[in-house]
Structure 1
Amino acid sequence: MYTERASRLTGAVVWTNTPAGAGVGPVLPDGCMDLLWNEDRLLVAGPDTRPHVPEGPLRSWAGVRFFPGTAPALLGVPAHELRDLRVDLADLWPTARVRRLRARVEAAADPATALEDIALDRAAQTTVPDPLLHRLVERLDEGRTVSATAAELGLGTRTLHRRCLAAFGYGPKTLARILRLQRALTLARSGTPYAETAVRAGYADQPHLAREVRELTGLPLGSLLGGG
């Protein structure tokens, strides 16, 4: 069972997932990075460009999903170094610190809230996220083109690409595709017909939607929505 709630950390989401049944579905690209707790391990989920299927036995997970572009400043590592990876937090932070944090989560009544507290503590020790990155996500999520967004933000295309690699793990065109995918999935899950979903999400037509969904998720839209 998957549940989520808005975090006390601006823009973030706190979630838990206790799988049941024969397996779990893939984690789809969403432009975000997560701080994860998997029973006895603290992990970081880097930005995905393809579906990620958790390996090993079914286990309970808890996580904090950060607003796109904000996690690298909190973690102290450029997003592109973690692209399509799941890494131990001890690979990024001093082992002794991670050991203390792990003990803190283990002792907590609610691991998800303990993760949220860790994220809040870290945010209090770092600089405020660059508001330009938030505006970039907003503009691309509105369906604006990369070139128009770069011009509005006063950035050259090379500068924009470099900053996107550090903040999101990939360039602005990939970010725009992933945000558009998430818009489409939200619409389709609400019952919007596929043809209307394609138009409203910013695709040329329904076949374009189908190609993009399969390329980014590895599955047709109907399978993602449970329709086989």
Structure 2
Amino acid sequence: MSETARSKRVLPDGCMDLLWDGGSLSVAGPDTRAFMAAGTAEPVRAMGVRLAPGVGPVVFGVPADELTDQRVALAALLPARRVAELAERVAVAGDTAAAGAALEEVAAGLLARSAAAPGPWPGAAVAALDGGLGVAATARLLGWSERQFRRRSVAAFGYGPKTLGRVLRLQRAVRLAAEPAAEVAARAGYADQAHMAREVRDLAGVPWTELLAGFG
């Protein structure tokens, strides 16, 4: 995917990303606030593979909270020689589609070679929280205490389940953006429209109307 001079607001979503900037590989950790990705003066072949919540730590071999709100070189997490070989696979791809496929293969290869496995619980936790279940109820669903749930969430998602729930609720609101704001607030799970306005400004960094204008 090419990038231009226009910057892009990347909303938090609980995911981690493997990124290619046209010359090197890097990792985007889980965000707690919107990240402004700067554009470039000239189009470049920049792209990324988004890893589902809980998968990134398995792929990169570090707890998610060590990368929260950070962008780091992949070589800071894995042996430099290995990263150079992986970067070469993407660099030699003939076009954007081929480079994207190569990047996906790199991510899949890192996951396949990991000694750990994501397990089913991160997906179950995300589904429950995204469905509107509270932290305590989700912990019970998983068979844990709230303290256990928080500890595991911080390592898997980069932050506790309460923050993850807020992030997922923002994503629900964005998916409903075509509806009137009051309807979005109700359907996304906010107490009211004022609650949504506060949360959007806190997580996205701009008011709801400005956030929507950026999607245009």
Q: TM-score higher than 0.5 here?
A: yes
* Residue of structure 2 equivalent to 1:12: none
Match of 1:205 among 192, 198, 210: 192
2:6/2:39 contact within 8 Å kept: no
* CA deviation vs aligned residue, 1:85-131 (integer Å, no higher than 9, x gap): 00000000000001111111100122211110011112222343210
Match of 2:3 among 10, 19, 23: 19
Match of 2:72 among 87, 111, 117: 87
* Residue of structure 1 equivalent to 2:150: 161
The separation in 2 between residues aligned to 1:225 and 1:162, in whole angstroms, is: 34
* Residue of structure 2 equivalent to 1:49: 32
The separation in 2 between residues aligned to 1:60 and 1:195, in whole angstroms, is: 40
- Compute the displacement of 1:138 (Å): 0.4
Structure 1 outlier segments of 4+, above 6 Å:
none
* CA deviation vs aligned residue, 1:147-205 (integer Å, no higher than 9, x gap): 111111111111111101110000000000000000001101xx111111101100001
Aligned-pair identity (%): 52
Q: Which runs of 5+ in 2 are unaligned?
A: none
| 2:164 pairs with 1:175 | yes
Which residue identity is paired with 1:147?
A
Count of residues in Structure 1 that have an aligned counterpart in Structure 2: 209
* Residue of structure 1 equivalent to 2:203: 216
Q: Partner of 1:90: helix, strand, or coil?
A: helix
- Compute the displacement of 1:55 (Å): 4.1
| 2:129 pairs with 1:145 | no
1:37/1:111 contact within 8 Å kept: no
- Compute the displacement of 1:25 (Å): 2.2
Q: Which runs of 5+ in 1 are unaligned?
A: 1-15
- Compute the displacement of 1:215 (Å): 0.3
* Residue of structure 2 equivalent to 1:100: 85
1:146/1:173 contact within 8 Å kept: yes
| 2:119 pairs with 1:130 | yes
- Compute the displacement of 1:145 (Å): 0.4
The separation in 1 between residues aligned to 2:15 and 2:77, in whole angstroms, is: 18
The separation in 2 between residues aligned to 1:112 and 1:44, in whole angstroms, is: 15
The separation in 2 between residues aligned to 1:64 and 1:166, in whole angstroms, is: 20
Q: Partner of 1:123: helix, strand, or coil?
A: helix
The separation in 1 between residues aligned to 2:132 and 2:176, in whole angstroms, is: 14
Q: Partner of 1:63: helix, strand, or coil?
A: strand
- Compute the displacement of 1:19 (Å): 3.0
- Compute the displacement of 1:28 (Å): 1.1
Computed over aligned residues only, the root mean square deviation of the Cα atoms, in angstroms, reads: 1.5
* Residue of structure 1 equivalent to 2:23: 40
* Residue of structure 2 equivalent to 1:7: none
